[in-house]
């Protein structure tokens, strides 16, 4: 995905989890409009990148599916353009010409127009029974420019912005406090090492996953769900009692609340939702995940068309055209000469891996009730033994 080198200033943007109404103007329009307002009027702006046609098309496909699930969600159109935010801030409207001039100089000195941005996953942020979905973007080629813009904006940023700095909602409802606070805290909470570039693609009910995955696989909530449905049969998660990570973990969580009494060399967690829906934290049985990867292996999967399956498992390249080993939410590897696509999950008390070998029409899964913090590629061990036993491979 190559971004346009032009940076767009948005006079005021409502970045609301429920309504992303925006009012976009060109740079020239922005400057002219500043003449008709008082010099001290504070507005909210979003300095952003326009994605290329490939990203626009992909965003539209996802947006259409989300609106089928939640018709009241916003449509990607002239008022809701897909974009990659560089920074959001409150500024005096009279400062827009100066900001534009400095940005033009910064852009002319950067290689942004030649940089290639890679989409590397999807995200979902729940609120109530709905959630905001988007496509995550690798930030490697953006960080230098992002940091430069953050430094540039320090002298223009106004503290304690209010909802009046935004374009009014069409229905007259006030701007959400969370939206106002998000822009106020952007530099502190969402820049630098915390910068998470993405393209927002729409709003959908949490049951989107249930409708388009769980129900299509003929699974029940006891098989796969966002909730612990059967606490009596829920596997207890463990962490090594004597380990560096155990002591590090103790710095971040209340052990008396989340941990139970030690059992030999292990210390168990109490039952709680480890990752949450925002992390894609589905809770389920190995047999349910087995059904999922079996369906993905089918030529005509009911979960995803062949065209989009090809896009899903297309390996991204680095700016130097080297293999990245990353696809959309999947990693790519090879074992005994056979390509595979895999994903690991886990956290405190649990670890799992799922993997498919398309050329072998083979899938594998493994679940642990002990902590896993990295992509261990544990399946390399049992898969190597199994693949060697397959007659007439490929």
pLDDT in tens, 9-28: 433 333 333 333 333 333 33
- Same-domain check for residues 123 and 234: no
CATH number at 78 reads: 3.90.1140
Taking alpha carbons only, the member of 44, 55, 38 closest to residue 2 is 55
- Which are the contacts of 176, defined by CB distance < 8 A and separation ≥ 6? 16, 17, 18
What pLDDT, on the 0 to 100 scale, is given for residue 275? 60
Exposure on the CB side of residue 53, measured as CA atoms within 13 A? 0
What is the C-alpha separation between 387 and 393, in angstroms, rounded? 8
User: Do 182 and 254 lie in a common domain?
Assistant: no
Same domain, residue pair 195 and 217:
no
355 CB-side CA count, 13 A? 27
Residue where a domain terminates, one of 203, 238, 260: 203
Is 317 part of any domain?
yes
CA 295 to CA 304: how far, in whole Å?
Answer: 9
The pair of three-digit structure tokens given for residue 372, joined into one six-digit string: 């896993």
Are 195 and 228 within one domain? no
Q: What is the mean pLDDT of residues 376-387?
A: 96
Write the CATH number for 268. 3.40.710.10
Question: Is 90 found in the same domain as 117?
Answer: yes
In a domain? residue 115: yes
Determine, yes or no, domain membership for 44.
Answer: yes
Listed residues 183, 203, 223: the one ending a domain: 203
**Dihedral angle at the C-alpha atoms of 37, 42, 48, 50, nearest 10 degrees?**
-30
Instruction: Tell me the pLDDT tens digit for each residue of 111-152.
Output: 877 778 888 877 777 766 677 888 988 888 899 999 999 999
Query: Which range among 41-55, 68-82, 113-127, 199-213 has the greatest average pLDDT?
Result: 41-55
Q: Looking at the predicted structure, is the pLDDT value of residue 238 above 90?
A: yes
Does residue 218 share a domain with residue 353? yes
CB 269 within 8 Å of CB 348: yes
Q: Is residue 4 part of a domain?
A: no
Given a contact cutoff of 8 angstroms between Cβ atoms, the answer to whether 47 and 82 are in contact is: no
Residue 246's contacts (CB-CB under 8 Å, 6 or more residues apart) are 239, 240, 267
**Confidence (pLDDT) at 185:** 94
Instruction: For residue 52, give its domain range.
Output: 12-19+39-203
Q: What is the pLDDT of residue 273?
A: 65
Show contacts of 103-106: CB within 8 Å, 24+ apart. Answer: 103/7, 103/9, 103/47, 103/149, 103/152, 106/145, 106/148, 106/149, 106/152
What pairing do the DSSP bridges indicate for beta strands 283-284 and 224-225? antiparallel
The answer to whether residues 155 and 274 belong to one domain is no
Query: Which residue, 203, 235, 267, sits at the end of a domain?
Result: 203
- Percent of residues, the chain, with pLDDT higher than 70: 86
Instruction: Give a yes or no: residue 234 inside a domain.
Output: yes
Residues 218 and 291 in one domain: yes
Tell me whether residue 29 is in a domain: no
Domain for residue 7, yes or no? no
b/e for 298-334, b at 16 or more Cβ within 10 A? eeeeeebeeeebeeebeebeeeeeeebebbbbbbbee
| Number of domains comprising the chain | 2
Whether residue 304 contacts residue 376, with contact meaning beta carbons closer than 8 Å, is answered with no
Residue 86: inside a domain? yes
Beta bridge mates, 332? 341
Let me know if 388 is exposed, middle or buried by CB neighbors in 10 A (0-12, 13-18, 19+).
exposed
Q: Are residues 284 and 253 part of one domain?
A: yes
Q: What is the mean pLDDT of residues 273-281?
A: 59
pLDDT of residue 317: 80
Tell whether 233 and 376 lie within a shared domain: yes
Reported as a single tens digit per residue, the pLDDT across 312-371 is: 899 988 777 788 899 988 999 999 999 999 999 877 888 999 999 999 999 999 999 999
Same domain, 136 and 240: no
For residues 169 and 198, membership in a common domain is answered with: yes
């Amino acid at each position: 995905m190559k971004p346009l080198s032009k940076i767009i200033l948005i006079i005021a943007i409502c970045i609301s989890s429920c309504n992303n109404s925006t009012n976009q103007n060109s740079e020239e329009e922005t400057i002219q409009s500043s003449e008709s307002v008082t010099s001290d009027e504070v507005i909210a702006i979003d300095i952003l990148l326009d994605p290329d046609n490939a990203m626009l098309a992909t965003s539209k496909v996802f947006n259409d599916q989300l609106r089928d699930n939640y018709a009241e969600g916003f449509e990607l159109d002239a008022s809701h353009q897909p974009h990659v935010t560089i920074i959001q801030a409150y500024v005096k409207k009279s400062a827009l010409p100066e900001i534009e001039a400095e940005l033009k100089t910064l852009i002319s000195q950067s290689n942004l127009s030649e940089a290639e941005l890679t989409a590397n996953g999807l995200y979902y942020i729940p609120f109530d029974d709905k959630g905001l979905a988007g496509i995550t973007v690798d930030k490697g080629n953006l960080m230098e420019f992002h940091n430069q813009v953050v430094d540039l904006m320090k002298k223009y940023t106004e503290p304690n912005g209010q909802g009046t700095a935004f374009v009014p909602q069409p229905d007259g409802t006030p701007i959400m406090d969370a939206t106002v606070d998000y822009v106020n805290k952007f530099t502190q909470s969402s820049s630098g090492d915390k910068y998470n570039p993405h393209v927002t693609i729409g709003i959908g009910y949490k049951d989107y996953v249930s409708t388009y995955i769980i129900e299509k696989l003929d699974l029940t909530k006891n098989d796969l769900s966002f909730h612990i449905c059967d606490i009596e049969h829920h596997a207890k998660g463990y962490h090594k009692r004597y380990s560096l990570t155990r002591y590090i973990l103790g710095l971040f969580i209340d052990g008396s609340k989340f941990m139970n009494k030690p059992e030999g060399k292990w210390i168990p967690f109490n039952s709680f939702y480890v990752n949450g829906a925002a992390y894609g934290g589905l809770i389920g049985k190995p047999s349910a995940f087995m059904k999922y990867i079996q369906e993905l292996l089918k030529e005509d999967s009911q979960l995803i068309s062949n065209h989009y399956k090809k896009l899903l498992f297309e390996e991204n390249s680095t700016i130097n055209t080297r293999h990245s080993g990353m696809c959309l939410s999947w990693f790519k590897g090879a074992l005994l000469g056979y390509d595979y696509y895999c994903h690991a999950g886990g956290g405190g008390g649990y670890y799992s891996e799922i993997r498919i070998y398309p050329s072998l029409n083979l899938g594998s899964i493994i679940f642990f009730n002990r902590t896993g913090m990295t992509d261990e590629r544990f399946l390399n061990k049992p898969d190597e033994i199994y693949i060697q036993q397959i007659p007439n491979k490929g």
